[in-house]
């Protein structure tokens, strides 16, 4: 079936608060869509403001400017139907801002006129979302007629529930357009397509799904826009992590893309998130510590692939504990990547610190205090270079370490972005292997991948001195953090009771550390600081 309706899917990368910039981009895409013969051009949820504006929505000037931007878009809509996300403000009472109701909205514009305004019905208030804090819930989804076709418009969460699409179908909708800002996590793309297909089949409608792309703080939006026909078949799918305008005529069939593997999903998500975090926040270069270990190696490669080798500085900061192999591996990695490499030994500073603390530490046994001094010296040096030259410090700790507190406050946790802090250690290895396989060479030296991991803060130290093997640790952490399983439920899976209890205790008692860590990029279903929000002071235990 063909309705001879050509939809332009504007999978754009909006910047939160960049109202003028976003509007110029929207207008440019509209002009291109008209030139290419599209009947309708659709933009993502809150395309004008960027997603999510959070407390910018409490500023009257921000809301007014957003409405003014919609007016600019209206002026370029001659000859094409434009559907775009914005914030609608409906006044009541004395019309002061405190009496204004805000709606997560979509404007339908044609020939210079706003012909319909659609408000979001289901406001998500779980995991990373808190839309009920800002927006008013709509009571009735909208439909409109365009060139003989009845079209329903809904917004993101609305398509995940049956009622909105069913209502729009009952009003004659033949096509349903969904404007989304759906953030990425591994496996979510397949989940979305399944939901969209189900809605299309249930209501015998075409479903046009347009998703935001780009990084925003700790979130990354993957795009993955698509068109589903009345049989639930994917007619068109846009590539993920790419900003571009795509045209599709309903009823036609375009070749489908090869699905990304989970490793590829995480790799491309981290690249996009890092690039946007750096560029949108006005940084030029990044700096990171190179320990000779796998976490810093992976982080360095991601920085190079996202930003270019000329914008990455790697710093080796060896102490008397640092092995010859680690120093060699850090150097070889930097040579392989072609980045600026600096070596700043910390032994003299470390000895000076111990001498300064000699009286205070007298009569005590050497422990983590001395070990962590080394990490904090390194953090200080990186931050000094950041302050002097304007570099962004990218930390290198992974999710497994952060979960159990195997990280040093104001040391290896010091920086501006914790790039891989939602990547479990086992996935760090998979990403490293993927990077070398796709390159066809050992960008990451093979010894870095094969050697036993160590923080190298004391002689002979190995991660397994303090932690179970990472494959075991990561499965326990996933059960507890992402699946919200109790201790008893995890033990019932066959894990040792003592190990499970120790790991869960460490997760719970290191919340204070995670509260002080830099933002990290969410790639799993439950990330620290975004989806998982636990109190620091907390005596609950399910042991």
189 and 303 inside one domain: no
DSSP-assigned letter for residue 240: B
Query: Which residues are identified as catalytic?
Result: 45, 120, 156
Domain ranges, residue 179: 6-260
Classify residue 521: in a domain, yes or no. no
270 and 254 inside one domain: no
Q: Among all chains, which residue has been given the structure tokens 């609950």?
A: 540
Residue finishing a domain among 260, 294, 316: 260
248 and 280 inside one domain: no
Q: Which residues lie below 8 Å from residue 408, measured CB to CB, with a gap of 6+?
A: 372, 375, 376, 379
Classify residue 420: in a domain, yes or no. yes
292 and 200 inside one domain: no
Classify residue 528: in a domain, yes or no. no
139 and 236 inside one domain: yes
241 and 339 inside one domain: no
Number of domains composing the chain: 2
- Distance, in Å, from the CA atom of 461 to the CA atom of 323, rounded to the nearest integer, reads 11
Residue finishing a domain among 415, 436, 463: 463
Going residue by residue through the chain (543 aa), what tens digit of pLDDT does each one get? 457 899 999 999 999 999 999 999 999 999 999 999 999 999 999 999 999 999 999 999 999 999 999 999 999 999 999 999 999 998 766 556 677 899 999 999 999 899 999 999 999 888 888 899 999 999 888 999 999 999 999 999 999 999 999 999 999 999 999 999 999 999 999 999 999 999 999 999 999 999 999 999 999 999 999 999 999 999 999 999 999 999 999 999 888 888 899 999 999 999 999 999 999 999 999 999 999 999 999 999 999 999 999 999 999 999 999 999 999 999 999 999 999 999 999 999 999 999 999 999 999 999 999 999 999 999 999 999 999 999 999 999 999 999 999 999 999 999 999 999 999 999 999 999 999 999 988 999 999 999 988 887 788 878 788 889 999 999 999 999 999 999 999 999 999 999 999 999 999 999 999 999 999 999 999 898 777 888 888 877 776
Which strands sit side by side in the sheet containing 340-343, from one edge to the other?
Answer: 340-343, 312-316, 286-289, 392-395, 417-418
Residue finishing a domain among 416, 434, 463: 463
Global confidence as pTM? 0.94
Which pair of tokens denotes residue 485? 């399983």
230 and 322 inside one domain: no
Residue 14's domain is classified under what CATH number? 3.60.110.10
Binding annotation: 126, 182, 188, 289-296, 372, 396, 401, 513
Classify residue 493: in a domain, yes or no. no
Binding annotation for deamido-NAD(+): 372, 401, 513
Binding annotation for ATP: 289-296, 396
Classify residue 201: in a domain, yes or no. yes
222 and 340 inside one domain: no
Classify residue 365: in a domain, yes or no. yes
Binding annotation for L-glutamine: 126, 182, 188
278 and 253 inside one domain: no
Classify residue 519: in a domain, yes or no. no
Tell me the helices (H) and strands (E) count for the chain, helix number first: 17, 19
Classify residue 527: in a domain, yes or no. no
């Amino acid at each position: 079936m063909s309705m001879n309706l050509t939809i332009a899917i504007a999978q754009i990368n909006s910047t939160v608060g960049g109202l003028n910039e976003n509007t110029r981009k929207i207008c440019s895409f509209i002009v291109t869509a008209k030139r290419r013969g599209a009947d309708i051009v659709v933009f993502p949820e809150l395309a004008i403001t960027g997603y999510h504006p959070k407390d910018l929505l409490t500023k009257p000037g921000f809301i007014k400017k957003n409405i003014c931007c919609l007016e600019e878009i209206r002026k370029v809509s001659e000859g094409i139907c434009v559907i775009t996300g914005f914030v609608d403000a409906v006044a009541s009472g004395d019309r002061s801002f405190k009496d204004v109701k805000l709606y997560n909205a979509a404007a339908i514009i044609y020939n210079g006129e706003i012909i319909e305004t659609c408000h979001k019905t289901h406001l998500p208030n779980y995991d990373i979302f808190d839309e009920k804090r800002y927006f008013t819930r709509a009571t009735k989804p909208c439909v409109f007629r365009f060139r003989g076709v009845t079209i329903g418009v809904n917004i993101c969460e609305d398509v995940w529930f049956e009622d909105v699409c069913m209502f729009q179908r009952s009003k004659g909708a033949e096509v349903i357009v969904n404007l989304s800002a759906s953030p990425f996590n591994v496996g979510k793309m397949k989940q979305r397509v399944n939901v969209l297909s189900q809605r299309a089949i249930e209501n015998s409608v075409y479903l046009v799904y347009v998703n935001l792309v780009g990084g925003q703080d700790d979130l990354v939006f993957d795009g993955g826009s698509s068109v589903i026909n009345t049989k639930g078949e994917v007619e068109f799918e846009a590539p993920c992590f790419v900003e571009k305008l795509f045209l599709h005529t309903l009823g036609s069939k375009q070749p489908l893309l090869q699905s990304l593997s989970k490793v590829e999903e995480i790799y491309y998500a981290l690249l996009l998130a890092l690039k946007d975090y750096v560029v949108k926040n006005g940084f030029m270069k990044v700096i990171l510590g190179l320990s000779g270990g796998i976490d810093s190696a992976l982080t360095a490669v991601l920085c190079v692939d996202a930003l270019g080798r000329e914008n990455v500085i790697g710093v080796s900061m060896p102490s008397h504990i640092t092995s010859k192999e680690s120093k060699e591996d850090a150097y070889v990695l930097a040579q392989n990547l072609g980045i600026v490499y600096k070596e700043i030994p910390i032994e003299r500073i470390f000895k000076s610190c111990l001498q300064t603390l000699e009286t205070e530490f007298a009569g005590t046994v050497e422990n983590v205090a001395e070990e962590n001094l080394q990490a904090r010296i390194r953090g200080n040096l990186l931050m000094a270079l950041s302050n002097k030259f304007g570099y962004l410090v990218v930390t290198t700790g992974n999710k497994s370490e952060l979960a159990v507190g195997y990280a040093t406050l104001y040391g290896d946790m010091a920086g501006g972005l914790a790039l891989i802090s939602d990547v479990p250690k086992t996935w760090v290895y998979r990403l490293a292997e993927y990077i070398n396989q796709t390159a066809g060479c050992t960008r990451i030296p093979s010894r870095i991948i094969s050697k036993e991991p160590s923080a190298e803060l004391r002689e002979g130290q190995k991660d397994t001195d303090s932690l179970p093997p990472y494959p075991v640790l990561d499965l326990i952490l996933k059960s507890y953090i992402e699946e919200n399983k109790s201790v008893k439920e995890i033990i019932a899976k066959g894990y040792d009771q003592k190990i499970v209890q120790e790991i869960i205790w460490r997760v719970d008692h290191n919340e204070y550390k995670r509260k002080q860590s830099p933002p990290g990029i969410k790639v799993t279903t439950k990330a620290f600081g975004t989806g998982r929000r636990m109190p620091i002071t907390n005596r609950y235990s399910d042991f």
